[in-house]
Structure 1
């Protein structure tokens, strides 16, 4: 199935498949290619409209009868760490950040494999080999960085985040860490460090991907203050995550053609 607008990117829809976040539901994605001279501007524009990047593709959920996946970002100006988040920052003070170009290494892949095998052995990436891993890191048509975190004492690589640089913030595309150090809350700590990077760079937002209420895998994002979610075409502050409910009615998702017609592109189309 293909939907397009004149002089604008073409959009496609994936076939339905089991949802990785909510049991008993099916997922479907709306996506478009990210290529050419306008790739950076397109990524900047569509990221503000709930899309995420995966290599040379931009996508967002477009499930037929569910609207549970909501794009989430932290408003850096309104972020105030909790007591437990402050403890995580103090606990991991011995680790240092190193930003590099998007180039995959054997050390990264070794850490990635340990992370998957211990924490996501049944996930969609479980069978990813070293070549697919390299593609995930290196196939980017926009400004991207690999943020590595190392132990100052041993110089061991303990965490990695593939990060896109947007015109209004940082987008955490994918992160992984040493599973033996899970008690140090490294996932939370990397988000906290990206908030700090954004502050240092004068960028207003840190994009976290999708918040999925009711999902153990994705619900943790609501723990960050200043969180905004993209819903019904606008960003709104998430005030009360515990009381939040999402649409699961067959009419909760607009028809694909209507969704595409409402997308705004950097060249003014849409």
Structure 2
């Protein structure tokens, strides 16, 4: 079952979701790139930062979700629906960015050579993926989804995953890149009713929730909310701390000589 994305729900935590993008971009040292592409651009709010950084560049955003592309509206930026596995630019680009997208492709480590071929010699390839799939925000969903009667509907849904930082570093080095790979665990302070559920239901848990029929989804959500609230208790001020590990990679392709 194909799932869809809700741009409004996804953007409920814009500041928290945007911070890793800024940290990733800070280590891309391109000065005057002609072409910049954001693969998995979502609603385009972060792609706008690429245009701000390089106002004279041709900046484009690509996303497989038509809902996200319809919501994207940034002056001077062209957006289009496309599958990054088959995306081929007219000519290699100077900066290629992919933020919190590759984790949806189980074979994304093997996809790196293809993506790097889309980067011009001397150009930059930067990506960021979550590295928190062993945390309760994911393991609770996995456990519930594997139980009857939910498993009959959720066994084939898309589930995000990533590799360890050293895996990305070695892969990029083998491809001849000068690579910088690191990880950061953010401590997001969330408020409101069931904030962790609100967070995950807009991203990693969305395919599971959409796969469930209406008569099962309510019970699943109730159990999911309760277990998340136990795993991430609020303090006396109603604040919930969500630790979120992310993995970053910035690679520069070898210039031609």
TM-score range, shorter chain: under 0.3
Q: Which has the higher helix share?
A: 2
Q: Which has the higher strand share?
A: 1
Normalising by structure 2, we get a TM-score of 0.26
For CA contacts below 8 A with separation 6 or more, give which structure has more relative contact order: 1
Normalising by structure 1, we get a TM-score of 0.25
